[in-house]
C-alpha cells in the first residue's frame, strides 16, 4: 500500500523580518515540502536523519554534516523518509551577497551543530540579546569559512549507472561488485569504472560507501547499537565502521547516537 505523504507548509513571509532568522521543526516520516521559493537566502540542514532537497533537476542529499544553500528566488522542494530535526538558517538579501550565487552544499561543522542545538532547545528563532547576536555572527562566519562542498551522493540518468544507483539506494548492504554489475549490464568493469568517474566524479566503491553511511544514520536513529549497525553493513567488527562514519560525520557513531538521545 502506498504511503500518504505529509505536506509541510513553507514559511509564508513576504520578506525576511531581520537579517538572520531561524526555523526549527520536527519533520515526521514521509514528509514533503511542495515547490516554493523565498525572497531571501536559506540554508537547509538537519540534526539527525537525511533530507532530500530538489532544485531544478538536481537532487541534494543532506546528512547532518552538510547543508544546502538556496539563493533568493530559487524554487525548491524537499522530502524525508524518516523523522528528523529540521533547521533553516535564513539570511536577508544584503547578507546573501556573501554566499554563493548558485545553489551549493556547505559544511555543518561541530561549532555550528553545537550553537544550533542550543538555539533549537531554546526555541529561539531571532536573536534578541547581544550574546545571542554574537552566536549568530559565529554561525555566519563558520558557514562562510567552510567553503562549497561537492554533492554528497550525486545521481545520474546514464543507462548503465541509473539501474545500479537505484538498486543500491534500495539495498545499501548489497555486496554486488562492479564486475557483477558489468555482467548484468553486458559491458565491462573498466567501462563502468570510467563512467562512474566521468558522471559522478567518484568510484563505485566510494559512492556505495556514502550510501551505506546514510543508511547507518537510519539504523542508529532506530536505536541499534554501533556493533549491530557495523555487522548489518557487512563489517566483521565495529572499528572499520567507526572510522568510516567519523570520516563523513566528523564524530563517532556513538557520539552521534548520544546527541540525538538528549
Query: Which CATH number does the domain housing residue 116 bear?
Result: 2.60.120.280
Q: How far is CA 71 from the centre of its chain?
A: 17
Strand, coil or helix: 4: coil
Residue 257 belongs to some domain of the structure: yes
pTM tops 0.85, yes or no: no
Domain termination site, one of 101, 123, 149: 149
Instruction: Please write the tens of the pLDDT for every residue from 154-198.
Output: 999 999 999 999 999 999 999 999 999 999 999 999 999 999 999
For residues 125 and 170, state if they share a domain.
no
Q: Mean pLDDT over residues 29-40, rounded?
A: 93
For residues 167 and 84, state if they share a domain.
no
Domain termination site, one of 149, 178, 202: 149
Residue 1 belongs to some domain of the structure: no
Q: How many structural domains does the chain have?
A: 2
- Whose CA is closest to 192, among 163, 150, 172? 163
Q: Mean pLDDT over residues 220-230, rounded?
A: 92
Residue 155 belongs to some domain of the structure: no
CATH number at residue 222: 1.10.10.60
Q: How far is CA 245 from the centre of its chain?
A: 14
For residues 134 and 230, state if they share a domain.
no
For residues 87 and 35, state if they share a domain.
yes
For residues 95 and 211, state if they share a domain.
no
Whole-number pLDDT of residue 1 = 46
For residues 243 and 173, state if they share a domain.
yes
Residue 80 belongs to some domain of the structure: yes
Between 262 and 106, whose confidence is greater? 106
C-alpha cell at 149: 562542498
Task: Using pLDDT thresholds of 50, 70 and 90, give the confidence band for residue 261.
Answer: low
Range of the domain at 237: 161-261
For residues 90 and 205, state if they share a domain.
no
Strand, coil or helix: 45: strand
- Whose CA is closest to 62, among 191, 149, 147? 149
For residues 15 and 145, state if they share a domain.
yes
For residues 192 and 79, state if they share a domain.
no
For residues 144 and 208, state if they share a domain.
no
Residue 154 belongs to some domain of the structure: no
For residues 51 and 99, state if they share a domain.
yes
What is the Cα–Cα distance from 114 to 112, expressed in whole angstroms?
6
Instruction: Please write the tens of the pLDDT for every residue from 112-166.
Output: 999 999 999 999 999 999 999 999 999 999 999 988 888 899 999 999 999 999 9
Amino acid at each position: 500500500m502506498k504511503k500518504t505523504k505529509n505536506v509541510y507548509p513553507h514559511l509564508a513571509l513576504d520578506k525576511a523580518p531581520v537579517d538572520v532568522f531561524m526555523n526549527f521543526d520536527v519533520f515526521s516520516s514521509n514528509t514533503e515540502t511542495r515547490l516554493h521559493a523565498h525572497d531571501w537566502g536559506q540554508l537547509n540542514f538537519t540534526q539527525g536523519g537525511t533530507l532530500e532537497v530538489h532544485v531544478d533537476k538536481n537532487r541534494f542529499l543532506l546528512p547532518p554534516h552538510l547543508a544546502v544553500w538556496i539563493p533568493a528566488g530559487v524554487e525548491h522542494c524537499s522530502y524525508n523518509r524518516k523523522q528528523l530535526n529540521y533547521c533553516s538558517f535564513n539570511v536577508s538579501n544584503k547578507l546573501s551577497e556573501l554566499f554563493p550565487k548558485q545553489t551549493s552544499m556547505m559544511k555543518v561543522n561541530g561549532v555550528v551543530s553545537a550553537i544550533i542545538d542550543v538555539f533549537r532547545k531554546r526555541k529561539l528563532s531571532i536573536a534578541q540579546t547581544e550574546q545571542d547576536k554574537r552566536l549568530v555572527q559565529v554561525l555566519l562566519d563558520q558557514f562562510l569559512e567552510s567553503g562549497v562542498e561537492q554533492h554528497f551522493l550525486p545521481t545520474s540518468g546514464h543507462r548503465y549507472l541509473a539501474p545500479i544507483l537505484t538498486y543500491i539506494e534500495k539495498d545499501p548492504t548489497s555486496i554486488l561488485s562492479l564486475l557483477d554489475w558489468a555482467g548484468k549490464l553486458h559491458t565491462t568493469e573498466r567501462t563502468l569504472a570510467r563512467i562512474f568517474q566521468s558522471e559522478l566524479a567518484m568510484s563505485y566503491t566510494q559512492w556505495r560507501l556514502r550510501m551505506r553511511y546514510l543508511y547507518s544514520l537510519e539504523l542508529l536513529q532506530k536505536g541499534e547499537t554501533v556493533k549491530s549497525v557495523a555487522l548489518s553493513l557487512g563489517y566483521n567488527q565495529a572499528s572499520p565502521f567507526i572510522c568510516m562514519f567519523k570520516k563523513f560525520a566528523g564524530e563517532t557513531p556513538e557520539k552521534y547516537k548520544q546527541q540525538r538521545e538528549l
